[in-house]
Amino acid sequence: MTSAQEPEVVAVWRESSPIGRRFEELLADGTVCAWTEPPLGETY
């Protein structure tokens, strides 16, 4: 893999609740990228 390529995503988790949504991606290099979003219709 060259530095210009992004690591492959090997697993994805999604969780929704009344207070928002959480996403996590496990990458092939062992790192985890996680982020949250507000509930649908709400602003950040």
Whether residue 42 is predicted with pLDDT greater than 80 in this model: the reply is no
- CB-facing half-sphere around the CA of 13: CA atoms within 13 A: 10
| Percent with pLDDT over 70 in the chain | 89
Q: What is the C-alpha to C-alpha distance for residues 39 and 20, in angstroms, rounded to an integer? A: 4
User: What's the mean pLDDT in 29-42?
Assistant: 90
pLDDT given at position 2: 54
pLDDT at 14 over 80: yes
Mean pLDDT in residue range 11-30: 94
Selection from 5, 15, 9, 16 nearest residue 32 by Cα:
9
Average pLDDT (29-40) is 92
Residue 10: per-residue pLDDT? 95
Q: How far, in Å, CA of 14 to CA of 38, rounded?
A: 13
